[in-house]
Structure 1
Amino acid sequence: MSCALSSPKRSWRLLTFAALTLSASLSACGMGDVRRPSADVGNPQDVIATQPQQDMQPQAEENYEQVVTVAPAPPETEQTEQPEDGMQPLSRAEELPVQNSENASEESYGYPGSISDPISRGESTFAMSGSEVSCRTQLKRLGVVFQEREPINDGGVCRIDHPLKVSGFASGRIKLKPAATLNCQMTLAFAKWVKGDLSPSTRLRYLSGINTIHQASSYSCRTMSNQRGRAMSEHSKGNALDIAKVTLNNGKDIKVQKPGLFSFRQRGLLNSVRSDACNYFTTVLGPGYDIFHRDHFHFDLMDRRSGKRSCR
């Protein structure tokens, strides 16, 4: 009876020992990582600290950067300049500035005062020779005040292809009254004479500059001395100018006529003007030459075959 009772106890002990041995074996193989409730809870922060968790956010960011880096850049497309808001692109015709001929100054050298049809050869600016354009450039440099006029053609030799209306010299400080109609070459010679001879002579003898030059005749379709049967005058070509009086800045009038017995300064001025003017003109006639030139100086640029000058 005692043997039967001890046998089950021994079997129970063997089973318990076997279970404990198996449990220890499983713990050694990694099966014992399962968390078991603990009676001592303690500080919860200690428990969290002892259980580190993997932070997945940095890995996600690394993957995102890698994707951005690997992704190919979009192909470059050809960009065209777009006009700003409210602006329309210019057409080819609008890109070039157009000069309004109506606003062009009449005093601009090299161009007629009014051109209705610049394509027409008769009114084309290109019909003007290079010498005419160069002459006008020199007039501008000398300060001559002039305007272009329409071509003059009164028949025969009475014509000026590119006439000028001259009204002053020295940038307007010296006036010419009334305004004279001349060709460009005669205007240039007269302007040089005023600057190089007449103005210095008046300052030397009268200690005053010139205010006004009074002319008696410029362009005129007539014969020499206006006499029938004589050759046509250089006035008919705008190639001559007659001077009757000079007014100085101090108000003194110097008339071109035979001076009185005691008019020493006037005589000296007229004599020097007559002699020195031959350096600028081919013909110089004045008081004492004949009855037709008793009250003025006649200057012209007559082209003589002999090349001689007439200064009387």
Structure 2
Amino acid sequence: MAHARLAFRAFLLVLATALVLALYHWGKGHPQDLPWTPLSLADPVGRFTNFKIARVREDFPACRRLLDDAAEAYRVLPPVRGKATCGYADGVALVPSDGFSYAPRAEISCPVAVGLFLWEKQVLQPAARRHFGRPVVRVDSFGSYACRPIRGGREGRWSEHARANAIDIAGFRLAGGQRISIAGDWAREGREAAFLREVRNGACSMFSTVLSPDYNGLHRDHLHLDQAPRGGWSFCR
């Protein structure tokens, strides 16, 4: 009996060792899917990308290093001190580069910039090429910073826009001039609507909140993307 127990324990030890080694080797090839590995904008988006972005939300220098390492073109904005809970100290302005830009220029918190970088490279451009055979050259927005409460929400709740921690996307311009808009194309059938839903769904992996016309009438003409503190989880609709 004692010999059998020892043999069983040895088997469990070997099995556990094999599982640890398998996880180690798998993790080396899939760092984006492990919660303890550092975020790199060169990695594919994974299960814990939102969680890793949340870790740099309060660390402006670390967030800027991510953009620097990815060679994202940006400049740091001076802090804004607004009334009540408004204002920001981690703002950046994305600079047009490689034929791609935001209109108006995206002036946002650094974590939103990280999300936009991943979204453009890993979701938006692949979707545009897949559906239209052309890249997106411009993203049209309704802006970011606005010192205001949440529209239609409970009284006293301030919007993530009040901290430049959100951006509202209105549409996209493709190379060649075609424009695709949330207001004009979301409710239609065809590749434009399929493209818009694909870029909405893809944004859920790198933003804390993604709201579209499917959420309510207040979002009938834009996608709302923000980095609200949710502990690495995402609300996407």
TM-score w.r.t. length of structure 2: 0.69
Residue in 2 that maps onto 1:14: none
Q: 1:285 to 1:174 in 2, by over 3 A?
A: same
The residue type paired with residue 232 of structure 1 is: W
Residue in 2 that maps onto 1:200: 126
The residue type paired with residue 159 of structure 1 is: G
Q: Deviations over 1:164-199 (max 9, x none)?
A: 12233xx34211111122111111111111111001
Mark the structure with the bigger radius of gyration.
Answer: 1
d(CA) in 2 for partners of 1:310, 1:209: 28
Contact 1:287 1:294 in 2 (8 A): yes
The residue type paired with residue 140 of structure 2 is: H
Q: 1:230 to 1:172 in 2, by over 3 A?
A: farther
Q: 1:136 to 1:287 in 2, by over 3 A?
A: same
Q: Deviations over 1:250-295 (max 9, x none)?
A: 2110101363776310121111112121101111101132111000
d(CA) in 2 for partners of 1:272, 1:260: 11
Contact 2:205 2:234 in 1 (8 A): no
Contact 1:143 1:172 in 2 (8 A): no
SS, match of residue 172 in structure 2: strand
Asked if 1:164 is matched to 2:99, the reply is no
Q: Deviations over 1:54-103 (max 9, x none)?
A: xxxxxxxxxxxxxxxxxxxxxxxxxxxxxxxxxxxxxxxxxxxxxxxxxx
Q: 1:238 to 1:155 in 2, by over 3 A?
A: same
Alignment of 1:104-119 (within 5 A): none
Residue in 2 that maps onto 1:175: 101
Residue in 1 that maps onto 2:224: 298
Residue in 1 that maps onto 2:7: none
Instruction: State the number of aligned residues.
Output: 181
Alignment of 1:130-169 (within 5 A): 131-168=59-96
The residue type paired with residue 157 of structure 1 is: T
Q: 1:282 to 1:134 in 2, by over 3 A?
A: same
Q: Deviations over 1:190-217 (max 9, x none)?
A: 1111111001000000000111111112
The residue type paired with residue 170 of structure 2 is: A
Asked if 1:189 is matched to 2:115, the reply is yes
User: Structure 1: where are the runs of 5+ without partners?
Assistant: 1-128
d(CA) in 2 for partners of 1:134, 1:260: 37
User: Structure 2: where are the runs of 5+ without partners?
Assistant: 1-56
Shift of 1:227: 6.8
